[in-house]
Structure 1
Amino acid sequence: MSSIIALISAFFSMLNILCNPVNLLTSTFGLYIWNGIGASLSAIIMIIWSSFFAISFRKNIAITETLKSTGRYSSDGLANFGFSFWILIASVLCHLINIGLVYYRNYLLQHEPQQPVHIDIHKNDSTILVY
């Protein structure tokens, strides 16, 4: 589910690059929402996997032997977090970095100084004719 939310967030990011949408979920505020949901879902997946690992996977990861309950096979202490778990950390970081970049973009747009327009009224080069 987190991957689907990440794809939706990427789609709306491209939409924001190409045009200026005004709908709540497609605007830059929507990018905060989609990236926040993606980061939250990835974090929830990490918490659930970590809790399952601490409760049962660390003690015995042999599924068929666990279901048979013979007790002869054990992998106590041999299990570890796989590559997929560490990719989730990268996913959470990417979502948070994306939120930070959108915030920084909005900050720059709000605090960008206006360029002063200077018109010299006393200049007489006959380009402005007043009748």
Structure 2
Amino acid sequence: MAVTRRGYIFGAFVSGVTGVLFIVVALASDSWVVSTLTVSSQQAASNIRYGLFGGELTLREMATPQMHPLHMTCAADVNACAVSCKTERESRLVEVRALANGYRPTAACGGTTEVDTSNPLDTTPVISFAFYVILITLLVIDLVLGVAAAGLAILNATKNPTEPVFGLPGCLWTNVAAALVGITVMLMFGIYWLTSGLNEHLAISYIALGLFTPGAGLGFSYWLLLGGCLCFIANVVLMQTRAYLLERDPPPPVIDIQNHSDGTIFLY
């Protein structure tokens, strides 16, 4: 009986599902950017964290901390995104457009935004809208590839495929593509973090206006992508190891019917 070593394929399925979960949590969680916010007049540092869609700002200006939800707000007409704690969408858009033009909006979590145009900022503390859209698109593509890789793995672990594209070659290359896309996203955001000044202004008016000094870093949401990439790379290793072991196994015995004239019945 031929040895199929399907345990390796099932292992790739489990690892693929884990990689998909990493990507889903990275997309949905709010800790891509984390930072302490310090100022000399405060006894305790404030905190900020936000992800691709929102986050939270914790201000400790008083004895009781004040927590404000953050909203990732984009204005395509000025190619800018930023996080804002304003309670009204229109006020958040006014704030983002002001930051994109180098103006100073009011840094308060109210329902209105006033803009000071007399003392412009040295830099525009925003995230590029085009970069933001490309980042989200690549993450969605990575998620789709991860789901496809896991689906092909369980398909091959439970039954023999009938079409080459749905077989192990398709599963292998889907995992390769998922790993490459994940690495691309990590490199994109990491390089953008260092070169765009995002690590200094955090794309929020509280930092841009110099009200706080940040102690910024990349949060666990970003590093979860590394876990997803490692899962997809592990799948490639598992399938290549299986292929190597199958090639190393001795071939099944070949029965020559002509050498058996004693009436033996052969089953195929």
Answer whether TM exceeds 0.5 for this pair. yes
Q: Which residue does the alignment assign to 1:98?
A: 235
TM-score normalised by length of structure 1: 0.76
- C-alpha separation in 2, matches of 1:129 and 1:44: 64
- C-alpha separation in 2, matches of 1:50 and 1:98: 25
Aligned length: 117
Shift, 1:114, TM fit = 3.0
Shift, 1:74, TM fit = 4.8
> Please, which of 3, 14, 17 is the counterpart of residue 157 of structure 2?
17
TM-score normalised by length of structure 2: 0.39
> Please, which of 208, 211, 221 is the counterpart of residue 73 of structure 1?
211
Q: Which runs of 5+ in 2 are unaligned?
A: 1-139, 256-261
> Please, which of 186, 192, 204 is the counterpart of residue 63 of structure 1?
204
Q: Which residue does the alignment assign to 2:226?
A: 89
Shift, 1:4, TM fit = 2.0
Q: SS at 1:59's partner residue? A: helix
> Please, which of 184, 193, 196 is the counterpart of residue 44 of structure 1?
184
Q: Which runs of 5+ in 1 are unaligned?
A: 119-127
Higher normalized strand content (fraction of residues): 2
Q: Which residue does the alignment assign to 2:146?
A: 6
RMSD value, Cα: 2.4
- C-alpha separation in 1, matches of 2:176 and 2:252: 35
Shift, 1:6, TM fit = 0.8
Shift, 1:21, TM fit = 1.5
Matched letter for residue 187 of structure 2: I
Higher normalized helix content (fraction of residues): 1
Matched letter for residue 56 of structure 1: G
Shift, 1:52, TM fit = 1.9
Q: SS at 1:72's partner residue? A: coil
- C-alpha separation in 1, matches of 2:155 and 2:193: 39
Matched letter for residue 99 of structure 1: V
